[in-house]
């Protein structure tokens, strides 16, 4: 859904370019696109808001599919330069020999086939934001050039002599442990420190279970909209199973699971049997030998609240705690 290699990518809420010009509507769309209910992601959103106000380089890390791309867009649209371009480059999907010219651009005649001057993405980002996706995949030679560009705040296009200023905010994304890549000699230490100025870490979905329900609902309605189908909802048993599943592929996996369920079933309400086997298994309890006491407590409280259909006194009686205690725990675990 996100076109990584696209120049001037739309806001996460996908408003048109013109809409994105007004930073207010851009940030409103970006904010509503980012679902956060769990205390962990609310904290991340808080950090993001603060960081967005400045222009220092940001390093966003997190497992595959956690939402790094979306968070980078949010950072842009919440910032003071939201009306400037947002440009992405995916360092992993571009062939090695193309990364440098895509990033820095080239002059006519710089190499065979360079029939006319082309501006690179760093230049196209202007005073906006350049997102370096999968930054660990940058070839070492390009790392050296990027380091120089950051230090000198300027660079030359390939084969050029004219100085191009770096005015954009740099946001680097990684799902690899960059520090470990540095230790292995695969990533320059000096560049690592230049990028890791303001670190943001997106926790895996399984570590912020309170996000699962609202995310599932939102993604489902987005998918239904995209398919132009009739409204669909998720049954309580399906939601409960999703909440217990570990999501190795994070939010992207949740989205894929829902997309497949929509195809597999035509019922207005998706029940547990429309979900893939690994999720249905999770419904019978996650591997409890891998859960902390806190995770177990949270899962059990969620299960009982589900079972009592939210009747708190009844749930508290089953759990053997006071109603007040239940309300406190419910709040702490983001179950309200």
Ligand X SMILES: Nc1ncnc2c1ncn2[C@@H]1O[C@H](COP(=O)(O)OP(=O)(O)OP(=O)(O)O)[C@@H](O)[C@H]1O
CB 156 within 8 A of CB 143: no
Only one residue has tokens 């230090």, namely 151
Residue with smallest beta-carbon separation from ligand X: 67
Does 62 engage in binding with ligand X (CB under 6 A)?
A: yes
Does 69 engage in binding with Mg ion (CB under 5 A)?
A: yes
Does 67 engage in binding with ligand X (CB under 6 A)?
A: yes
Nearest CA to 12 out of 51, 70, 86 is that of 70
Does 243 engage in binding with Mg ion (CB under 5 A)?
A: no
- With a CB cutoff of 8 Å and minimum separation 6, the contacts of 156 are 104, 162, 163, 164
| Cα gap 301→286, rounded to integer Å | 14
Does 2 engage in binding with ligand X (CB under 6 A)?
A: yes
Partner touching 142 among Mg ion, ligand X, none, CB below 5 to 8 Å by kind: none
- Quick one: which segment of 66-74, 141-149, 280-288, 319-327 binds ligand X (CB under 6 A)? 66-74
Does 251 engage in binding with ligand X (CB under 6 A)?
A: yes
Does 14 engage in binding with ligand X (CB under 6 A)?
A: no
First CA to last CA across the chain, in angstroms? 30
At CA 33, angle to CA 211 and CA 173, rounded to 5? 85
| Cα gap 121→48, rounded to integer Å | 24
Does 64 engage in binding with ligand X (CB under 6 A)?
A: yes
Does 199 engage in binding with ligand X (CB under 6 A)?
A: no
Counted residue by residue, the chain has a size of 336
Minimum distance from residue 151 beta carbon to ligand X (Å)? 27
Of the pair 145, 213, the CB lying nearest ligand X is at 213
Minimum distance from residue 92 beta carbon to ligand X (Å)? 9
Residues of this chain that interact with ligand X (CB under 6 A) are: 1-2, 33-35, 62, 64-70, 175, 215, 251-252, 255
């Amino acid at each position: 859904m996100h076109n990584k290699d696209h120049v001037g990518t739309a806001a996460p809420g996908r408003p048109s370019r013109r809409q994105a010009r007004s930073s207010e509507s851009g940030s409103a769309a970006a904010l509503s696109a980012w679902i956060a209910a769990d205390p962990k992601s609310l904290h991340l959103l808080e950090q993001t808001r603060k960081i967005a106000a400045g222009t220092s380089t940001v390093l966003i890390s997190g497992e595959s599919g956690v939402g790094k791309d979306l968070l980078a867009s949010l950072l842009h649209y919440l910032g003071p330069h939201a009306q400037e371009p947002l440009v992405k480059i995916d360092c992993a999907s571009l062939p090695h020999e193309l990364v440098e010219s895509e990033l820095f651009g080239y002059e006519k005649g710089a190499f065979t086939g360079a029939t006319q001057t082309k501006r690179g993405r760093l230049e196209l980002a202007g005073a906006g934001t350049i997102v370096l996706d999968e930054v660990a995949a940058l070839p070492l030679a390009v790392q050296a050039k990027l380091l120089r560009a950051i230090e000198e705040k300027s660079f030359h296009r390939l084969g050029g002599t004219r100085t191009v200023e770096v005015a954009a905010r740099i946001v680097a994304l990684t799902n690899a442990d960059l520090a470990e890549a540095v230790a292995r000699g695969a990533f320059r230490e000096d560049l690592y420190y230049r990028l890791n100025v303001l670190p943001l870490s997106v926790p895996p979905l399984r570590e912020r279970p309170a996000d699962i329900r609202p995310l599932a609902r939102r993604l489902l309605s987005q998918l239904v909209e995209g398919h132009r189908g009739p409204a669909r909802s998720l049954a309580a048993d399906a939601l409960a199973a999703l909440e217990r599943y570990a999501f190795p592929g994070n939010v992207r996996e949740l989205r894929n699971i829902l997309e497949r369920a929509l195809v597999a079933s035509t019922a207005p309400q998706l029940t547990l049997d429309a979900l893939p086997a690994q999720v249905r298994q999770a419904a019978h309890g996650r591997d409890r030998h891998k859960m902390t006491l806190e995770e177990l407590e949270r899962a059990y409280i969620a299960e009982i609240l589900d079972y009592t259909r939210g009747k708190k006194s009844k749930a508290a009686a089953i759990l053997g705690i006071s109603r007040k205690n239940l309300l406190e725990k419910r709040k702490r675990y983001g179950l309200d």
